[in-house]
Amino acid sequence: MTQEQGVQMTAVEINGVDKVFETRTGQVQALDSIDLTVAAGEFVSLIGPSGCGKSTLMRLVADLDEPTGGTISVFGKTPRTARLDQEYGIAFQQAGLLPWRTVAGNVALPLELHGVASAARSARVTELLDMVGLSDFADRYPDQLSGGMQQRVAIARALAEQPRLLLMDEPFGALDEMTREKMQTELVRISAETGAAVVFVTHSIPEAVFLSDRVVVMSPRPGRIQQIVPMRLGVDAQRAARTEELREERGFFEMVTAVREALHGGSPIATGARGVENR
């Protein structure tokens, strides 16, 4: 697959997806008629109240569970084939590290699975650990790290193979504010450089605005897409150009307001002026 072909493709296509969980006390409808297309290279965030089905949707895309109805494709493949082909990297709410492997060993895992030669592998691991600020911890084990550090190992692991899709479920939730902003800037840079599409779950409105091309606002359970808010951050705010200064610009605050209003079920009049797509 050449990069040109990759760019034209759709990364994720979700059509009419429902998810109902059978529980001892009855059925729980977690997702209701979800339609969403994420273009190759696009950064899309999902935001919505706790329990609205964000993680469920991510798990369906990642083939960790199956929809009750509707279809999902990842680069034109079923989620299962995409998973087996290692089309995406994952960083979820729980870091999910292997406790018997060192930090370096965890980051190297996807490279090992893909048969990357030893020298290239250790060079890449060094580069990744440097990027997430864990160079001094390569030989430690996960239980010797703080939650935020474990999460950074998981992010390094997700990026190891420069996947063209990253699925990230609150990956920065356990980080302190300084590290979190640093990781956001890094993620923007990485996704712009590698052209990776990202589907990103967060509870933070400023985080969603800073990172995204579009923010998908979900309603309380059963999760539906309430609005999709395109981030219009001004001429200089191509993703690659998003830097710390952006956080203090007026356009940034306007987008924060637009997403907040959408989350609170803001009136179409208030948000429509900013070009919000109503659903």
Ligand X SMILES: Nc1ncnc2c1ncn2[C@@H]1O[C@H](COP(=O)(O)OP(=O)(O)OP(=O)(O)O)[C@@H](O)[C@H]1O
Q: How many residues belong to the site for ligand X (CB under 6 A)?
A: 12
Tokens of 124: 């890449």
Judged by CB under 6 A, which stretch of 50-58, 94-102, 111-119, 261-269 contacts ligand X? 50-58
**Amino acid in position 164:** R
* Tally of CA atoms within 13 A in the half-sphere of 46 that contains its CB: 30
Beta strand pairing call for 197-201 and 165-169: parallel
Least separation in angstroms between CB 68 and ligand X: 12
- 106 binds Mg ion per the rule CB under 5 A: no
**Which of 14, 44, 54, 124 touches ligand X by CB under 6 A?**
54
Within 202-231, the residues that bind ligand X by CB under 6 A are 221
**Measured between alpha carbons, how far is residue 197 from residues 75, 123, 177, 213 in Å?**
11, 25, 24, 10
The binder of 121, among ligand X, Mg ion, none, by C-beta within 5 to 8 A per type, is none
- 67 binds ligand X per the rule CB under 6 A: no
Q: What is the largest CA-CA distance in the chain?
A: 58
SS3 of 28, please? strand
Compute, in degrees rounded to 10, the torsion defined by CA atoms 215, 221, 222, 225.
Answer: -10
Cα–Cα distance, 166 to 178 (Å, whole number): 23
- 55 binds Mg ion per the rule CB under 5 A: yes
Least separation in angstroms between CB 46 and Mg ion: 9
Question: Which residue is listed with tokens 């356990």?
Answer: 174
- 64 binds ligand X per the rule CB under 6 A: no
- 23 binds ligand X per the rule CB under 6 A: yes
- 202 binds Mg ion per the rule CB under 5 A: no
Which lies closer to Mg ion via its Cβ, residue 55 or residue 271? 55
- 30 binds ligand X per the rule CB under 6 A: yes
Binding site for Mg ion (CB under 5 A): 55
Binding site for ligand X (CB under 6 A): 21, 23, 28, 30, 50-56, 221
